[in-house]
Amino acid sequence: MVAVRFMGPDELRQALSMPEAIEAMRSAFGDDREVPVRSVLGNSAFMVGRVGSYSGVKVVSLVPGNPAGLVAVFDKDGNPIGIVDGPTLTAIRTGAGSGLATDLLAPPHVSTLAMFGAGAMAFDQVQAVKAVRPIERVLVWSRSEERAAALAERVGGEVCLDAEDAASLAEVICTATPATEPLFSQEALQATVHLNAIGAYTPQMCELPAELVREAFVVVDDRAAAAAEAGDLLQAGKPPDAEMSDLLAGRVTPPRQGHTIFKSVGIASQDVAAAVAALSSV
């Protein structure tokens, strides 16, 4: 039996830089993928997917406070090529998805980012946006001032506990919270803002005001996944204007001004593409 390599959190971060992860998202969101909607068995969520000739499965714990999980990937012959730490890969690939969306949708010279949420996903959201845009100022909002301060120190940002103020100053906004109601009002936003919304991954959750979602140009990671899980869109009654694959293939051209939203619920092709990139780098 061939030994299967395991990559833990530290090794995974060393092997997969954010620019490399962002590049991997081009294939993760491309046309040559399969991403069935996730399923739940017991206290675990199962996400299976294929990107090109590679396939994989992610199994993650749904127990609150227990961020455990694994991602296993397989080659074209069905041979396992490795297993990586699930929570770390999820944070990196989720950030990378927002990074690619920001590169495709945000104006080129934006310099102020507002990060709503200071949990496990937030650091990589900031790093991803910084990788594609000349960000000079990072505002961090969280319901926990302590967590906001810790993240702000880690990313070289500043705490802004007034959500309306943070939204009004930002040219790019990332939201990564478990909110069930909007974090800020549409009126607070500048005329042109790009938003990456990665929370609200169930129909009952919501981070963005419905009126903003309805008028914005909305791009999703996958239409089927969004139709089942994207609370922001479902509550607003807004069908997506495009998938990421449409932008990458040039089938849809996004607007140059106004509000653009990348609504992501996370799809398994992201895990497969990111894990393959990490395992192939060493």
Ordered alpha helix ranges (H), 31-162: 86-105, 122-132, 145-155
- Cβ atoms < 10 Å from Cβ of 212: 23
> pTM higher than 0.85, yes or no?
yes
Tell which residue, 189, 248, 239, has the closest CA to residue 217. Answer: 239
Residue 14's contacts (CB-CB under 8 Å, 6 or more residues apart) are: none
How far apart are the C-alpha atoms of 71 and 86, rounded to whole Å?
A: 5
The dihedral over CA atoms of 47, 51, 53, 55, expressed in degrees to the nearest 10, equals: -10
257/80 Cα distance (integer angstroms): 45
Centroid of chain to Cα 204: 19
**What are the pLDDT tens digits along the chain (282 aa)?**
567 899 999 999 999 999 999 999 999 999 999 999 899 999 999 999 999 999 999 999 999 889 899 999 999 999 999 999 999 999 999 999 999 999 999 999 999 999 999 999 999 999 999 999 999 999 999 999 999 999 999 999 999 999 999 999 999 999 999 999 999 999 999 999 999 999 998 999 999 999 999 999 999 999 999 999 999 999 999 999 999 999 999 999 999 999 999 999 999 999 999 999 999 986
Name which of 109, 8, 12 is nearest 68 in CA terms: 8
Contacts of 5 (CB under 8 A, 6+ apart): 81, 82, 83, 279
Instruction: Give the Cα separation of 250 and 53 in Å (integer).
Output: 23
Q: Where are the domains of the chain?
A: 6-90+269-280, 102-266
Question: CA 77, CA 87: separation in Å to the nearest integer?
Answer: 27
CATH class of residue range 102-266 = alpha beta
The two beta strands, 80-85 and 112-116, are unpaired
Residue 281: what pLDDT?
83
CA angle in degrees (0–180, nearest 5) for 173-229-19: 45
Do the domains 102-266 and 6-90+269-280 match in fold? no
Other beta carbons within 10 Å of 190 = 13
Please name the CATH architecture into which domain 6-90+269-280 falls: 2-Layer Sandwich (3.30)
